[in-house]
Amino acid sequence: MTKTLTIAALVAALSSAASAAELGWGLTAGAETVGEYNVDTEIMSLTVEPTIGYTIQPIELNLEASTLLNVYEDEFVDATWENLPTLDFRASKGLFDNVEVYGEVSYDLEASERGDVVIGASFSF
């Protein structure tokens, strides 16, 4: 039990919420760090997802690019870029306070191929 509590405290300390810094000229940069411990498999993992964004004014069209990087999975992951990451791209536009339309696509650098193109809308309440 002590091991589980120690790992849970470590995961909580290494995790952070997503937030973006305003760089000016419509550019933003940020990252989300997620630390998890699977109690059943006893595997601890840590991922980092850096993100860069740009807002086209005056129509307020948000463009975003990000990639998910594995840092730790029961041991530190080899960071020599043996396996290239997948880049995720998203464009979104808020229509109302609670309605957003978006389009997204990914590109796998390892396989040199595009992922599915997804167009959708979300409604928040």
56-114 tens-digit pLDDT = 999 999 999 999 998 888 888 766 667 788 999 999 999 988 999 999 999 999 999 99
What 8-state DSSP symbol labels residue 38? E
Cα(125)–Cα(60) distance, integer angstroms: 21
Q: How many CB atoms lie within 10 A of CB 64?
A: 19
pLDDT in tens, 23-57: 888 899 999 999 999 999 989 999 999 999 999 99
Q: Which residues pair with 85 in a beta bridge?
A: none
Count of domains observed in the chain: 1
pTM equals 0.74
- Percentage of the residues of the chain whose pLDDT score is greater than 90: 58
pLDDT band with cut points at 50, 70 and 90 for residue 10: low
Q: How many CB atoms lie within 10 A of CB 66?
A: 21
Q: Which helix (H) or strand (E) holds 8?
A: helix 2-14
Structural domain of 119: 2-123
Q: Which two tokens stand for residue 28?
A: 């933003």
